[in-house]
Amino acid sequence: MIAAKALRLALLAAGTAGGLSGAAYGLLNGQAGHARRVIGPPAAAPLRADGVHLPNGTGPVPRADLPAGTRPLEFAVLGDSSAAGLGVDFPADLPGVRMARGLADELDRPVALRTHAVVGTTSQELSDQVQDALRNPPDLVLIIIGANDVTSKLGVSTSAALLGKAVRELVVADVQVVVGTCPDLGAIRPIPQPLRSVASRWSFALARAQRREVEANDGYAVPLADLLSPEFLAKPAEFFSPDHFHPSAAGYEAAAEIVLPVMCMAVGAWQGGPLPAAPTRSEAAEARRPTSRIIAHLNRRLRRN
């Protein structure tokens, strides 16, 4: 796994910034090696189910099968292995497919999915995906990025600025952009303590910086770490795939439930009304109540628009 393999580079940066002693760095470096061995490399490439998805939950179907004059919503997914859906066994469980079918149902309109996400991508490579997407500009883009940035020597401010640049390029091209910010790597159990705490702090710092950049460039940010970390911590066997690093089908479903309303708002599917309250989830999530905060934030933005 690229992210686990590069983790000791992040530790070197953390040690430089935080003044870790040689003994402390040695401990963390040893733990990073243990995590790499446990997680291992990907067993296979992510599945693909690009094409047109219909409001009845079927697809992909050829565009030629659509009724004459029907224009699907053009939807592209950019980012890393979590955006690509690494970890699921069936195409219907891919995050892009879940989002496309959810959008099709909400809009009562076909949605054409194109996946540009690549396993191992950092924000430095995101520009290439943006250029690929803009060859045939979509109406809506979902970006999930950040985990590999945490495990590289890319600084938080640099990483966030690169994401902001990508969002700006898409928005200028009249594309609506929703970003799932960096997930909490501290929820990954194969990463032992105290290394897990280091990864978690970096994850949340990057997520905050990403959110500022995304919103400054007129995109919509969904803080995945705040909203999903309690779920993944409470139910690791259910929410992680067998590699213990990427989400399972249930994990991607939980993410889709949170991201989909924001994407619908981005394309005007809520008709100017308030977003619905998110369902109560685990006791851990309810205790922190982050979902209520993000829904309130998005409702304020909706009223301003």
pLDDT at 180 over 60: yes
Over range 105-128, report the average pLDDT.
95
Which of the residue ranges 20-24, 60-64, 175-179, 278-282 has the most confident prediction, judged by mean pLDDT?
175-179
The pTM score is 0.77
Pairing of strands 176-180, 111-115: unpaired
Indicate the range of 66-70, 111-115, 209-213, 217-221 predicted with least confidence. 66-70
Pairing outcome for strands 51-53 and 220-222: unpaired
pLDDT of residue 275: 54
pLDDT for 239: 76
What is the rounded end-to-end Cα distance, in angstroms, of the chain?
Answer: 42
Q: Output the pLDDT for position 232.
A: 73
Q: For the chain, give the mean pLDDT.
A: 78
Q: What is the pLDDT of residue 194?
A: 73
More reliable by pLDDT, 135 or 10 = 135
Given a cut of 80, whether residue 207 has pLDDT beyond it is yes
Which residue is associated with the tokens 């992040």? 10
Mean pLDDT on 214-229: 91
What's the gap between Cα 215 and its chain centre?
16
Locate 272 and state its tokens: 């100017």
Percent of all residues in the chain with a pLDDT value above 90, rounded to a whole number: 47
Q: 41-45, 54-58, 266-270 — which is least confidently predicted?
A: 41-45
For the segment 24-53, the average pLDDT, to the nearest whole number, is 59
Instruction: Give CA separation, 255 vs 22, 211, 229, in Å.
Output: 39, 17, 11
What's the one-letter identity of residue 239? F
> CA dihedral in degrees (298, 302, 304, 305; nearest 10)?
140
Range of 59-73, 150-164, 205-219 with top mean pLDDT? 205-219
Q: Is the model's pLDDT at 282 over the cut of 80?
A: no
Residue 281: predicted pLDDT: 38
Q: Flag the least confident range among 23-37, 89-103, 202-216, 241-255.
A: 23-37
State the DSSP string of 31-95: HHHHHHHHH-S-SSPPP---EEE-TTS---B-GGGSPTT--PEEEEEEESHHHHTTT-SSGGGSH
SS (H, E, C) 99-129: HHHHHHHHHCCCEEEEECCCCCCCCCCHHHH
Give me the residue spans of the domains in the chain: 2-304
Q: What is the pLDDT of residue 305?
A: 53
pLDDT given at position 291: 42
Active site residues: 81, 243, 246
Pick the CATH number of 2-304 from 3.30.750.210, 2.10.109.10, 3.30.750.24, 3.40.50.1110: 3.40.50.1110
Question: What is the structure's pLDDT at 126?
Answer: 97
- pLDDT band of residue 51 (cuts 50, 70, 90) is very high
pLDDT for the residue numbered 31: 43
Mean pLDDT of 222-228: 87
Q: Which of 98-107, 180-189, 281-290 has the highest mean pLDDT?
A: 98-107
Q: What's the rounded Cα separation, in Å, for the pair 138 and 71?
A: 12
Q: Which tens digit of pLDDT belongs to each residue from 19-34?
A: 434 443 344 444 444 4
